Amino acid sequence: MADATLSPAPAFSGPLAAAPQPAGATGVLVLASGDVAWGRGFGAEGQAVGEVCFHTAMTGYQEIMTDPSFAGQIITFTFPHIGNVGANPDDVEADNPHALGMIVREDVTAPSSFRAVERLDGWMQRHARIGLSGIDTRALTRRIRSGGAPNGVIAHAASGEFDVPLLLAMARSWPGLEGMDLATSVSTQMDYGWDGGVWRLGFGYASAPPPASGRGGEKRPHIVAIDYGSKRNIFRNLVKAGAKVSVVPATATYDQIMALAPDGIFLSNGPGDPAATGEYAVPVIRALLETGKPLFGICLGHQLLGLAVGATTTKMFQGHRGANHPVKRLSDGPDFGRVEITSMNHGFAVERGSLPANVRETHVSLFDGSNAGLELTDRPAFSVQYHPEASPGPQDSLYLFDRFVEMLG
């Protein structure tokens, strides 16, 4: 139970001058607006500046923290009990967390799970990530929903000593995610072949099939995945669907990609503004489309494909981040109108009205009507805004991996 003296009521103290620090506070959130919320710090000590967003998933906090798409962001978890199943080496989507920190309602408790190997606060400290508990996360979420995702600083000091005016200046001077290319900071720096299979309880991660052969010994189609900040579970599901996967950096050129003799191209998820990443990514994607090879994009990859065919992207007011987002199918014949519950994590979107004549919208968000999928009518290319690989989240959309691999012949 959170200490009542540290439970902000209201959640924000308003102007900085009217935000006295309560006794025992070892953590603070300072927003660029001047709003301040005090709490208890955990994990690493220090400070981090970024965009403050919220995530509605009830499970999967390790996958969320290690998703490269969260680079530059501080995550407010709306589910109050975060950390109660501890941390383990399996539930990660990258080697290290990419989110800057987390804000939670209740203190992190000792784990209650047979899979846990350490406490979440210990895992956060080991990976130099800052946590803040004792915050009214419901009020903070309402603040983000009404005012948009703000810039802010999260800070933790065991001594309880903070230079709040300096933290406020940091929050106000941070430029924000719009116009920021973060893909190169989280992408692989060299080519590699993916060799991991999907995870099953009691079995761990399955070994990938031999790289050159698939079911029945036939040659496995070869996918070259451009890594803009990819999640591992995407590659696991491409392998499960029957493909061989090679991964290249976000800045790979057309010639470098084609030298690997791909049967198809995958555009991964990732952080930052798609228009900024598109400065170097879009010309490559346009050239790849001209080859006629099948292409599939997810999240940032979806936005980049949209830009490559002439659509525009825009920063969303609060973004979509959660594991319960309903999406309606607008194509696929008899599946027209079917609703999938999806996992989402994005703060930018493809503008529906900007889609050119040779692009068909395939999915739409039932939360706000924003675009959630597209396909080209004159080339074998499609993409979705959400995360069909889940991790965490529902598995309604796993069929997309099979669909892509089947297109490769």
Q: Does the pLDDT at position 15 exceed 60?
A: no
- The tens digit of pLDDT for each residue in 179-188 reads 999 999 999 9
Report the chain's mean pLDDT, rounded to a whole number. Answer: 92
Q: Does the pLDDT at position 166 exceed 60?
A: yes
pLDDT of residue 9: 35
Q: Does the pLDDT at position 217 exceed 60?
A: no
All structural domains of the chain, each given as residue ranges with its CATH number in brackets, are 4-173 (3.50.30.20), 183-407 (3.40.50.880)
pLDDT of residue 207: 57
Q: Does the pLDDT at position 215 exceed 80?
A: no
- The tens digit of pLDDT for each residue in 38-95 reads 999 999 999 999 999 999 999 999 999 999 999 999 999 999 999 999 999 999 999 9
Candidate list 51, 299, 325, 346, residue with the active-site label: 299
Of 234, 362, 249, give the one whose Cα is nearest residue 298.
234
pLDDT of residue 209: 54
- The tens digit of pLDDT for each residue in 288-309 reads 999 999 999 999 999 999 999 9
pLDDT of residue 5: 38
| Residue 195 pLDDT grade (very low, low, confident, very high; cuts 50, 70, 90) | confident
| Residue 20 pLDDT grade (very low, low, confident, very high; cuts 50, 70, 90) | confident
Proportion of the chain in helix, strand, coil states, percent, rounded to 5: 25, 30, 45
Least confident of 49-53, 208-212, 268-272: 208-212
Phi, psi of 128 (to 5 degrees): 55, 45
More confident residue, 7 or 310: 310
Complete DSSP assignment for 145-162 = HHH---EEEEEE-TT---
Q: Does the pLDDT at position 381 exceed 90?
A: yes
For residue 299, indicate whether it is catalytic.
Answer: yes
- Cβ proximity of 194 and 225 under 8 Å: yes
Q: What is the DSSP letter of 21?
A: P
Q: Between β-strands 359-365 and 339-350, what pairing exists: parallel, antiparallel or unpaired?
A: unpaired
| Residue 8 pLDDT grade (very low, low, confident, very high; cuts 50, 70, 90) | very low
For residue 389, indicate whether it is catalytic.
Answer: yes
pLDDT of residue 3: 38
| Residue 206 pLDDT grade (very low, low, confident, very high; cuts 50, 70, 90) | low
Tokens 């959130």 label which residue? Answer: 29
- The tens digit of pLDDT for each residue in 274-292 reads 999 999 999 999 999 999 9
Phi, psi of 360 (to 5 degrees): -110, 135
Specify the pTM: 0.93
For residue 63, indicate whether it is catalytic.
Answer: no
CA distance 277 to 286: 14
Helix (H) or strand (E) holding 309: none
Q: How many CA atoms lie within 13 A of 87 on its CB side?
A: 25
Q: Does the pLDDT at position 211 exceed 90?
A: no
Span 227-252, average pLDDT: 97
Question: In sequence order, what are the beta bridge partners of 28?
Answer: 38, 155
